[in-house]
Amino acid sequence: MNGLFLVDKPLGITSFDVIRRLRRQTGVRKIGHAGTLDPLATGLMLMLFGTACKQAMSLTKLDKRYSAELTLGANSTTGDAEGKKLSVSDRVPTKDEIVAALDQFHGEITQIPSIYSAIKINGQEAYKHARAGRKVEMPSRQVTVYELELISYDYPILKLETKVSSGTYIRSLAEDIGNVLQTGAYLSGLVRTEVGEYKLSEAIQLDKCDEQTALLEVRAH
């Protein structure tokens, strides 16, 4: 079995859990992916079987689209719903203020990824340093926000849809939006809906995968 397989990752498991389940369900040992999703995120993962694993690097660089839910009024130590919440403000921004804040994040922006990300610092994932209580300096990066659309707003819940370049951290984007609004914010829900031309609507739920799963040809990128 060689090729690309689109999986709809469920809530509460890691990206490596997806690999473990696929190995068990399909009998294939050589399985990789083209971009992780946090346990609290759901949606599209590009899974690579056999010789297609060689394409992981090029597929990882594809643009991505997400549906995101932000909770205003507090920050989180991890930037998402998993961390300890720290109250910032009970001020309720207007919809116009929300739109104005979002306008500041179109185009090329500078981000500082969360210390709870999988970025390697001194050879080890940053989140491992964080969980061990070690302080590390996270390098900033330039990313591009192609689209950032307000879907709904009912304080404290803010729902957005965004298309971003590879390497963009939506947790960091949520925190930065909260800083602009002076309310604080953390990412309380995330669904990845597109990776390049691949769409979540084409993906198969993880528990429905088996040895008969049809694989896609990996297209050049």
- Asked if 40 and 77 count as a contact pair (C-beta separation under 8 A), the reply is no
What 8-state DSSP symbol labels residue 184?
-
Torsion of CA 47, 81, 106, 14, to 10 degrees: -10
Token pair 């604080």 is found at: 184
Q: What does DSSP assign to residue 216?
A: B
CA distances (Å), origin 160, targets 69, 97, 102, 140, 157: 6, 15, 10, 23, 10
List 38, 96, 176, 207, catalytic entry: 38
Any catalytic annotation for residue 38?
A: yes
Task: Determine the Cα–Cα distance for residues 204 and 5; give it in Å rounded to an integer.
Answer: 8
Cβ contacts of residue 61 below 8 Å, gap of 6+?
166, 221
Q: Are strands 64-72 and 74-76 parallel, antiparallel or unpaired?
A: unpaired
- Indicate which residues carry an active-site annotation: 38
